[in-house]
Structure 1
């Protein structure tokens, strides 16, 4: 089987590069990859590898109940004050389809979070057609990963998780999933690029790029190497029309591995390392000014006083170029390397300053709660009624998907249909001041809400923008 896989990898490589073997000199790498030399090698097939692995790729069905407004004035406080809820909203069922990969024989499945997000009912269908209800063990919107569990009462076929740091541009890959719901489909291609960022809307930016055809429904499916191992979880495509244009992206297997370990440990939320610093990409101007030979790395913009980076001697103006000897292409790559290293683990950062390189030792830890959140639910006759506020700390900011250096009093949640909801307040809004008085703590906010002014002049910070509003 091993010899067949090697011949297979070589055979497809020939099709990609040329069209003639007569004048191609043998090229053999240290890992035994080679250009095919015989007709038999050229005619090699993926079929044995697919038969061996396809049973570990499943379909994931998610259903959600959504509410549709039948009255255009529904939710309008003025209208409802006079007419009430005379037009009940209509509910309807929405279904979505994705893929998943069995990674543990006990029925543990990994998939994308967006496949199951907001679902009221989730089922997994095996390649033999059997369906099972699902228990969600762990999910994370920012990483777009989810771990599910089914109980098949038997050991299931699995895909072994490979070391995705070992893959190279040009390696052959197979993508297995259920595009458009037509049934399990296998496509082939190569690794087109590594460390791709600015692919999704989340704050995670480190993807494997492939030209293997990926379409809607492939999300959560397997990107597999020629050893039948999982190297990535298919996640996104670049396409104007919704179909494959040969530019697909997968979450690296090493991140999947760390996330799976957190789920197996019983964690209720995935914790990423907290460095206490903000970073920007290195531009050509910055590289020239700092004496860097290459335009890559993460430029330190500022550090949090007393944070791990500051304690390790990292300062603004320095550039992180590697983690444990692995080059860092951009800030998203730094984030990925620290995340896959794991909380509690020591790392060695390569730091460049004024053309000189030095090594900095850092033990990774989770985001601390440097200030008690002291969450308070606001009630009564005021614009904030129905909102819950808390004191920001790196830990709370991380949980709310905000920059961990953000400070202030933040709205952590808003009840549906409440006064705060109808007036447009949202989670992650930072309350700066009310009636000209700075709001320094959640206790201050609760006290202000109990006052009875003739009007409310509110200033909030939303995603870095200052908004001012007056309520009577």
Structure 2
């Protein structure tokens, strides 16, 4: 996925075989151990760590679907959907996190739509892997290989909540197909979000050189502990300019644990709407803080409502860790499983207050539409299908003269797309609306007719 703004590219760092190799350099840096002793070489740490980093090659078929306008459907036949298939090959990186069970973590975009996944170990051996589960919105996937006679080595996990700006880190991966490439740098920033790379963003930023093919590779500390999973780069034409992003190890671990237990991510839901606290809001509300997550609305019956959170509160900590923005809070809550108890620190009328909430389930099949978007208030959404058998989100209940009715929705409508992106279920709808900017066009199936309803 990439976003081009003023000729600057934010892109996932997966590598396709057709890409040309670009050069990059990393400046030498002085390193110090935890005992403040100078480290003259990273070789001892890397000798222990690199066996836990693997190369991932994939083959598969990319399927694209496009709705054909009704006026042209007689030329295409079928249900008005044009389907194209295109074979692809790709390369990426992965990290062994459990040697005994053969668990390997990588990015979802590395293995998405892959029919065949091959893992190449540090010593050159190749084994087939299967995908146990993935989460597109956080870009995490979990693979498993048969461990018989492999003697795998796992990379130990760091507590990524303890990482500080300025900490030395090392990126290990497979840029441009050059396996076991090592680059060094520092942690440049924490809690990066709003990059439109994925639905849930809480990235560690680093200046360690990360290029295409590093996706799914390791960002490790000088002790060889996994700090994060390298995911994206920021720079002209997608090349490295010293700005890379990694998914924090703690966030990855929470998501992977859910995949192992349930086969999928059962994302937690707090049930609030809000925005970042900035200087303008702080001045308007006479606040003593300039960072945090401002709560503008609490959904009735939600985890936040049951936990005592109120509109006007400012959430400043989660589990004792500072919250700098609403998007950071959303990402941290979204990486925790439904039913998880979470401790939050908030400001209410200038005084700190501790609350504990038990997260709801963001993946439930029936939800009040207000929890997804305020313009949909008054509707109840349920996973379902159109009369033609196409998956979508059914308007199962609708309150007269509610906001959802005023935009044109009717009882029995099936939402099948948002801004030309296909919607199969409530989770897809929630994620699409979270990512949408500006005007939103809902693609709705009503009986045999297809129409667009616009939310401004």
Q: Match for 2:158 among 139, 156, 162?
A: 162
Note the C-alpha offset of 1:427. 2.2
Counterpart of 1:355?
A: 350
Q: Tell me whether 1:375 sits opposite 2:423 in the alignment.
A: no
Q: Match for 1:212 among 187, 208, 214?
A: 208
Q: Which runs of 5+ in 1 are unaligned?
A: 1-13, 19-27, 380-384, 394-405, 415-423, 432-444, 451-455, 466-472
Counterpart of 1:396?
A: none
Note the C-alpha offset of 1:17. 7.4
Number of aligned pairs?
A: 379
Note the C-alpha offset of 1:413. 5.6
Name the CA distance, whole Å, in 1 between partners of 2:183 and 2:152.
23
Name the CA distance, whole Å, in 1 between partners of 2:273 and 2:411.
18
RMSD across aligned positions (CA): 3.6
Deviations 1:133-178 (A, max 9, x none): 2211110100100000011313311101111011111111110001
**Structure-2 change in CA distance of 1:77 and 1:210 (3 Å):** same
Counterpart of 1:262?
A: 258
Q: Match for 1:390 among 368, 378, 394?
A: 394
Counterpart of 1:177?
A: 173
Note the C-alpha offset of 1:306. 1.9
Q: Which runs of 5+ in 2 are unaligned?
A: 1-26, 368-379, 398-408, 430-443
Deviations 1:8-39 (A, max 9, x none): xxxxxx96479xxxxxxxxx9xx9453x5xxx
Q: Tell me whether 1:346 sits opposite 2:378 in the alignment.
A: no
Q: Match for 2:302 among 291, 300, 307?
A: 307
Name the CA distance, whole Å, in 2 between partners of 1:174 and 1:115.
21
Note the C-alpha offset of 1:187. 0.5
Name the CA distance, whole Å, in 2 between partners of 1:158 and 1:429.
36
Question: Is the Cα–Cα contact under 8 Å of residues 389 and 409 in structure 1 kept in the other structure?
Answer: no
Name the CA distance, whole Å, in 2 between partners of 1:165 and 1:459.
46
Q: Taking CA–CA contacts closer than 8 Å with sequence separation of 6 or more, which of the two structures ends up with the larger relative contact order?
A: 2
Counterpart of 2:93?
A: 99
Q: Match for 2:43 among 20, 40, 47?
A: 47
Name the CA distance, whole Å, in 2 between partners of 1:90 and 1:338.
37
Counterpart of 2:432?
A: none
Name the CA distance, whole Å, in 1 between partners of 2:332 and 2:63.
41
Note the C-alpha offset of 1:239. 1.1
TM-score by length of 2: 0.74
Name the CA distance, whole Å, in 2 between partners of 1:408 and 1:308.
28
**Structure-2 change in CA distance of 1:290 and 1:60 (3 Å):** same
Query: Secondary structure of the equivalent of 1:334?
Result: helix
Name the CA distance, whole Å, in 2 between partners of 1:364 and 1:68.
35
**Structure-2 change in CA distance of 1:161 and 1:200 (3 Å):** farther
Question: Is the Cα–Cα contact under 8 Å of residues 65 and 93 in structure 1 kept in the other structure?
Answer: yes
Name the CA distance, whole Å, in 2 between partners of 1:310 and 1:206.
25
TM-score by length of 1: 0.71
Name the CA distance, whole Å, in 2 between partners of 1:461 and 1:104.
48
Q: Tell me whether 1:230 sits opposite 2:226 in the alignment.
A: yes
Counterpart of 2:53?
A: 57
**Structure-2 change in CA distance of 1:285 and 1:179 (3 Å):** same
Q: Tell me whether 1:124 sits opposite 2:119 in the alignment.
A: yes
**Structure-2 change in CA distance of 1:308 and 1:60 (3 Å):** same
Note the C-alpha offset of 1:101. 0.3
Note the C-alpha offset of 1:270. 0.3
Deviations 1:396-431 (A, max 9, x none): xxxxxxxxxx997664669xxxxxxxxx79427999
Question: Is the Cα–Cα contact under 8 Å of residues 93 and 215 in structure 2 kept in the other structure?
Answer: yes
Deviations 1:335-356 (A, max 9, x none): 2333455433322222223323
Name the CA distance, whole Å, in 2 between partners of 1:407 and 1:271.
30
Structure 2 matches for 1:305-344, cutoff 5 A?
305-339=300-334, 342-344=337-339
Question: Is the Cα–Cα contact under 8 Å of residues 374 and 391 in structure 1 kept in the other structure?
Answer: no
Name the CA distance, whole Å, in 2 between partners of 1:219 and 1:92.
22
Query: Secondary structure of the equivalent of 2:194?
Result: coil
